[in-house]
Amino acid sequence: DLESNRIVWSPFHYELFGYAATDTFAVEFHHFQDRIHVDDWAALADAIDTARAQKTQYHHTARVVRPDGSTRWFSGTGRFQYDDGGNATRMLGMVRDETDERQAAAQLREREQFLTAVIEGSPIGIQIFTPSGTSLRMNAAMRQLIGLPNDSIGIDEYSLLNDPEAQRVGVAEMFRQCVAGRPARIERREVDFTAPSYAKWPVHHRRFWLESVFFPVLGPNHEVHAVVAFNWDVTDRVEAELTRQRLQEQLRQAQKLEAIGLLAGGVAHDFNNVLTAVMGFADILRSLSAANDPNLELVHQIRLAAERGTNLTRQLLSFSRKQILRPEVFELGAEIHSMVPMLRRLLATNMQFDVQTATVGGVLVDRGQFQQVLLNLVVNARDAMPNGGCLTIRTAAGQMDPGTPAVRLSVADTGTGMTDEVKAHLFEPFFTTKEHGRGTGLGLATVYGIVSQSGGRIELESSPGNGSVFHILWPRCEHANAAPTNQIAITAAPRTETLLVVEDDPANRDLAARILTHEGYTIITAASGEDALAVAESIPHIDLLLTDVVMPGIGGRILAERLVKARPGLRVVFMSGCTTDDVLRHGVSENTVAFLQKPYSADQLARIVQHTLDA
Ligand code: ADP
Ligand code: MG
């Protein structure tokens, strides 16, 4: 009552404002005002005054501070009554305690914020759907996964469910299964993702490997309320695995070639002995024939056929990496340019030929073998461009492994290119796709052998229709080694020395003995290392030991060591088609031992023996 300034309160008012319910004292306006929170009074008073002036209803919320210090929130509503003159006479109001509601709402908000923080902070991409497939929510990891900006609004509607690429890997199917109440899982699917429907964001394209789990959230009656999808990116792991598989495949390939190499090397070794005998006896036959003998032509043909065979065994030996090498340090560029005129002649007129070399440091490689590598690659490139094209030879600096500088030789053609099938067998000896009589299948096998034996590596880029590039990498090598001294002084004096010839192959032993006897030497033969040691016991003087390297039992190098120890000054000549004896190989490459490569001609044998004795 505005006139008497008295308030009539319900018991609930007394309680709310912190007065005992039994305190039914006469309430005055200050009893009300005193307990309103100071911060809330101005707004509350304003609401009431406005309603009074405008004759409208008022609403307000405010806090009550009770004498015990506790605070309650309440909302109030009311209106004024007026006399005939329009003056306010009374105010009617009611209040409602909102404290518990507000607390519950605040708790709910807090819980919601907490869950949001968990979902947003999760490293796993989370998306929540209605059962009909509408996206309700997507977290930061999910946005990142599909490459959408984190702060974009409206993006929640985007879903992998609608993405055709994701559907391809079965996401939609998983979703259906999940709506039917069963959780589902996708293991490692590759997604090639573009976000085309969101043109306002920069178009983002990403390939990634995805793993997902979908599970249904059930309501009180076991109906599916929502579907939650967890997606995580396993690209790093999958790529590491793919790399491992690729390396394993490379290793398997290398092991296969190693095995074939062993086989090829064995065959070539035995075959060399056969060829040595054929060539040698042909040489002897020729020297025994009169100059006008009509059969000389036949002998010549035998010699030519044996030489062709020698060519084959040489290629097989380079593949099996058992060749004796004479590596030297040289710049690839200069060597390539010296070969250009010869290479150009190999190419047809409709082929462009481009050579770009840079000074990139030396390599330590057998020069003849390098020429063989380049020649084989160029011939293959030519064969791959039956309708013409462009052949490019290039050198550049490269790396073997990180930190190991290398010299790179690249031979590129614009020809047919290769299928994966061809690439898988490329380096195997006798693998060819060329018509019978055109290809031997030894070209790349030889390249492989030479490059591996000289510490290099081959890399290949090729696909059908896109030409091929072979890259050969060799470790860079700067120090030059001593120039080989191969000059042989020939003296015409008849020979009188005594030679011990050790060779396990009877035909070859006989051959060597014949050739050298013919030169005037006294020859003693032995069929093995042990045999040779025994024979040597009974001979007072030997000038030179000519020995095969690879023999059952005591091999050539050990035999030579023992005999030289007993007889200082004994000269030694080794002969072999191939050897895995590293000490000897080293000696040969350093020019410190006399070495005769099988198969040899009568002339070559005579020369090396003579040279070694005279040196
Ligand atoms: P060949 O040349 O005698 O067939 P190679 O060992 O030199 O033997 O090559 C083996 C096979 O590799 C060839 O038959 C061919 O199918 C393929 N090849 C080699 N080089 C190339 C190239 N530059 N382009 C396309 N295919 C090639
Ligand atoms: Mg070839």
Burial class for 107, CB neighbours closer than 10 Å (0-12, 13-18, 19+): exposed
Identity of the highest mean pLDDT range in 149-153, 218-222, 592-596: 218-222
What integer best gives the mean pLDDT of the chain? Answer: 85
- pLDDT for res 492: 47
Ligand 2 centroid, distance to 430 Cα (angstroms)? 10
- CA-wise closest residue to 57 among 48, 70, 67: 48
435-463 pLDDT per residue, tens: 877 778 888 988 988 898 888 999 999 99
Which pLDDT value is given to residue 580?
65
Q: Which has more pLDDT, 111 or 323?
A: 111
If one compares 149 and 326, the residue with the highest pLDDT of the two is: 326
d(CA 485, CA 502): 26
Q: Ligand 2 centre and the CA of 376: distance in Å? A: 6
Q: What separation in Å is there between the alpha carbon of 441 and the centre of ligand 1?
A: 7
Residue 108 alpha carbon to ligand 1 centre in Å: 73
pLDDT in tens, 529-580: 999 999 999 888 999 999 998 888 998 989 999 999 988 889 999 988 776 6
Ligand 1 touching residue 469 (CB < 6 A): no
Tens digit of each residue's pLDDT (9 = 90 or more) over 51-96: 999 999 999 999 999 999 999 999 999 999 999 998 999 999 999 9
Q: Report the separation in Å between the CA atom of 304 and the middle of ligand 1, taken as the mean of its atom positions.
A: 27
Q: Measured in angstroms, how far is the CA atom of residue 395 from the centroid of ligand 1?
A: 22
Write out pLDDT tens, residues 124-144: 999 888 888 888 888 888 888
Of 348, 338, 342, 339, which is closest to residue 413 (Cα–Cα)?
Answer: 348
pLDDT(523) > 80:
yes
pLDDT at 582 over 70: no
> What's the gap in Å between 438 CA and the centre of ligand 1?
11
Atom from ligand 1 closest to the CA of residue 416: 25
| Alpha carbon distance 389, 426 (integer Å) | 22
State if residue 443 touches ligand 1 by the CB under 6 angstroms criterion. Answer: yes
**Ligand 1 contact via 391 beta carbon (within 6 Å):** no
Q: What's the rounded mean pLDDT across residues 83-112? A: 93
Mean pLDDT of 227-252: 86
Looking at the predicted structure, is the pLDDT value of residue 281 above 70? yes
Average pLDDT over residues 33-58: 94
Per-residue pLDDT of 176-198, as tens digits, reads 888 888 888 877 677 766 654 44
Query: Ligand 1 test: best mutation among 319, 444, 450, 472, most atoms within 8 Å of CB?
Result: 444
pLDDT at 615 over 80: no
Please indicate whether residue 458, judged by its CB atom, sits closer than 6 Å to ligand 1.
no
More confident residue, 256 or 556: 556
Q: What is the mean pLDDT of residues 319-344?
A: 83
Backbone phi, psi, residue 308, to 5° = -65, -40
Cα–Cα distance between 60 and 76 in angstroms, integer?
A: 5
Q: Which ligand is nearest to the CA of 413?
A: 1
Q: Is the CB of 444 under 6 A from ligand 1?
A: yes
- The CB of 380 under 6 Å from ligand 1? The reply is yes
Percent of the chain residues past pLDDT 90, beyond the cut? 39
| Ligand closest in space to the Cα of 430 | 1
Ligand 1 site, residue 381, Cβ cutoff 6 A = yes
Specify the DSSP element, H or E, that contains 173: helix 171-179
The set of residues, in sequence order, having a beta carbon less than 8 Å from that of 392 and lying 6+ positions away, is 354, 355, 356, 410, 411, 412, 413
What b-and-e string marks burial along 147-163, b requiring 16 or more CB atoms within 10 Å of the CB? Answer: bbeeeeeebbebbbbeb
Q: Which of 165-174, 201-210, 294-303 has the lowest mean pLDDT?
A: 201-210
Q: Report which bound ligand comes closest to the CA of 424.
A: 1
Least Cα distance to 286 among 314, 306, 312, 261 occurs for: 306
599: phi then psi, degrees, rounded to nearest 5: -75, 150
Q: Which ligand 1 atom minimizes the distance to the CA of 470?
A: 23
pLDDT higher than threshold 60 for residue 279? yes
154 pLDDT higher than 60? no
Say yes or no to pLDDT of 202 above 60: no
Ligand 1 touching residue 372 (CB < 6 A): no
Q: Which H or E run includes 407?
A: strand 405-413
* pLDDT at 322 (0 to 100): 65
Of the ranges 32-36, 255-259, 385-389, which one carries the lowest mean pLDDT score? Answer: 255-259
pLDDT at 195: 54
pLDDT band at 525 (very low <50, low <70, confident <90, very high): very high
Distance (Å) from CA 371 to ligand 2 centroid: 14
CB-ligand 1 contact for 418 (6 Å cutoff): yes
Ligand 1 atom 8, closest CA: 441
545 or 323, higher pLDDT: 545
Q: In Å, what is the CA distance from 544 to each residue of 71, 574, 598, 600, 602?
A: 118, 11, 19, 18, 17
Does residue 426 line the site of ligand 1, with CB under 6 A? Answer: yes
Which ligand 1 atom sits closest to the C-alpha of 415?
24
Token readout for 413 is: 């053609």
Under the banding of pLDDT at 50, 70 and 90, the label for residue 487 is very low
Is the whole model's pTM more than 0.75, yes or no?
Answer: no
Residues near ion ligand 2 (CB < 5 Å) are 380, 443
> Strand order in 184-194's β-sheet?
135-138, 125-129, 224-233, 205-218, 184-194
Could you tell me which residue, 583 or 444, shows the higher pLDDT? 444
379 CA: nearest ligand 1 atom: 2
- What is the distance between the alpha carbons of residues 348 and 151, in angstroms, rounded to a whole number? 62
Q: What is the mean pLDDT of residues 27-56?
A: 92
CB 508: neighbour CB atoms within 10 A? 23
State mean pLDDT over 276-303: 89
